[in-house]
Homo-oligomer: A and B are copies of this chain.
């Protein structure tokens, strides 16, 4: 199959439309929900706090009763008792009365202010207030944190630490989240080995699978490593079919360039794909491809590591995000940075270019340093904190340009 280079966004769109796997929903205990993606809007069934409550340790009063208080002539109020934390409040407070309260104590009906214990004197069962207390003073209003009926968290949110507290506050035990999509990975190439001994004898140690499975985990998928497959159409075919039966998405690494070893693309053709593209207008990464077989995507990542990662970021990352209930974007976030030097492209004018950069902090913000180095170099990626995507037909981006640096979970880091 001749490589025909296609706009990579178009390829992704076609693949997304042709594949029929949908995000799956499951129930999970709140204690296990951290970092999962919420699959339902969370609407509060209750007011928080459930009653007006006290903002400090002191005395719950009716502000009206304190209107005439002066340091010379403090108002004396009866201490009717204490309202402790964890107690329902008395039904209401009567004229001239007060209750001892703690921070968070619920307040009775009619009580509209709290005076801090530092601001009163107590003699026997009377509390003396030396100045008028404003209505609402030191009162945390019923429903002021969360009002009944309020949407507290929206579907599609990646659940954070503080969300667990509020989910529990709303008295929820479980929430609906999206299941992590299982992503199968096969390394293709007779030259590959997992054995350090065989690597000493010239074989290529399989390193990409380590990086890829870690990336899949980091972006929200569940990797299933299928091992090394030799350059043999039968073996490739049965591995891909095995992967398709066990996962939502199959990634192959290697065997995708034109030539003797372009076995994956040819083999995929025998599986009656409903869509099939080989060749992206993306550099590095142009020999990547993808197809859809039995409603599931198979993405063929090139073997040179930068191309592997670029094609992963361009085609696999947004699909994994989509299958996890997130938006199908190619990063988790972007940050603005100033380009440290000119970025000049000499080849592939009508291709998009991905440039990995390291980030450095200076007084005014972030500086992006393009990392020089060839596609096979793993060391480039070790120094990388994020990538810049340059549109096709743009062959130079000048130094000091403000660029968007995309961050990929598991790969990126901010200084």
Residues of A within 8 A of B (CB): 30-31, 34, 48-49, 55, 57, 84-88, 102-104, 106, 117, 140, 144-146, 152-153, 158, 160-169, 171, 173, 189-193, 196, 199, 201-208, 210-212, 214-215, 217-218, 257-261, 303-305, 309, 332-336, 361, 364-366, 373-374, 376-379, 381-382, 384, 407, 410-415
Q: In the assembly, what is the distance between CA of A196 and CA of B161, in Å?
A: 20
Chain B residues with CB under 8 Å of A381's CB are: 162, 165-166
* Given the contacts A189-B85, A202-B88, A162 and B258 also touching, CB distance less than 8 Å: no
Q: In the assembly, what is the distance between CA of A381 and CA of B87, in Å?
A: 26
* Given the contacts A161-B214, A162-B211, A165-B207, A379 and B335 also touching, CB distance less than 8 Å: no
B106, B161, B218: the one contacting A411 at CB < 8 Å is: B161
B102, B199, B202: the one contacting A87 at CB < 8 Å is: B202
Chain B residues with CB under 8 Å of A415's CB are: 333
Known contacts A31-B210, A168-B207, then 19 further A-B pairs from the complex at CB < 8 Å, ordered by chain A residue: A34-B214, A55-B374, A57-B259, A84-B191, A85-B191, A103-B257, A104-B204, A145-B373, A145-B379, A146-B379, A160-B214, A160-B382, A160-B412, A163-B382, A165-B210, A166-B207, A166-B378, A168-B206, A169-B207
Asked if A378 and B162 make an inter-chain contact with CB atoms under 8 angstroms apart, the answer reads yes
Chain B residues with CB under 8 Å of A102's CB are: 259-261
Q: Considering residues A152, A165, A169, A410, which has the most beta carbons from chain B within 10 angstroms of its beta carbon?
A: A165
Asked if B378 and A117 make an inter-chain contact with CB atoms under 8 angstroms apart, the answer reads no
User: Nearest Cβ distance between residue A165 and chain B, in whole angstroms?
Assistant: 4
User: Nearest Cβ distance between residue A78 and chain B, in whole angstroms?
Assistant: 20
Q: In the assembly, what is the distance between CA of A106 and CA of B191, in Å?
A: 12
Chain B residues with CB under 8 Å of A165's CB are: 207-208, 210-211, 305, 378, 381
Q: In the assembly, what is the distance between CA of A410 and CA of B210, in Å?
A: 25
The chain B residue sitting closest to A85, CB to CB, is: B191
Q: In the assembly, what is the distance between CA of A202 and CA of B204, in Å?
A: 66
* Given the contacts A104-B204, A165-B305, A376 and B145 also touching, CB distance less than 8 Å: yes
User: Nearest Cβ distance between residue A10 and chain B, in whole angstroms?
Assistant: 26
Q: What are the 7 A-B residue pairs with the smallest beta carbon separation, nearest first?
A: A86-B191, A85-B191, A333-B414, A165-B211, A161-B214, A88-B202, A162-B381
User: Nearest Cβ distance between residue A196 and chain B, in whole angstroms?
Assistant: 5
The chain B residue sitting closest to A189, CB to CB, is: B85
Q: In the assembly, what is the distance between CA of A171 and CA of B10, in Å?
A: 39
Chain B residues with CB under 8 Å of A413's CB are: 158, 160, 333
* Given the contacts A152-B379, A191-B86, A202 and B162 also touching, CB distance less than 8 Å: no
Q: In the assembly, what is the distance between CA of A62 and CA of B193, in Å?
A: 30
Q: In the assembly, what is the distance between CA of A84 and CA of B189, in Å?
A: 11
B164, B203, B382: the one contacting A153 at CB < 8 Å is: B382
Q: In the assembly, what is the distance between CA of A381 and CA of B145, in Å?
A: 11
Asked if A88 and B153 make an inter-chain contact with CB atoms under 8 angstroms apart, the answer reads no
Chain B residues with CB under 8 Å of A211's CB are: 161-162, 164-165
The chain B residue sitting closest to A196, CB to CB, is: B171
Listed A/B pairs (30) with beta-carbon separation below 8 Å: A34-B218, A55-B374, A55-B376, A57-B258, A84-B190, A84-B191, A85-B189, A85-B190, A86-B192, A106-B202, A140-B376, A144-B377, A145-B373, A158-B413, A160-B411, A161-B212, A161-B214, A161-B410, A162-B309, A162-B378, A162-B381, A166-B379, A167-B210, A169-B207, A171-B196, A173-B196, A332-B414, A335-B414, A365-B365, A407-B414
User: Nearest Cβ distance between residue A1 and chain B, in whole angstroms?
Assistant: 16
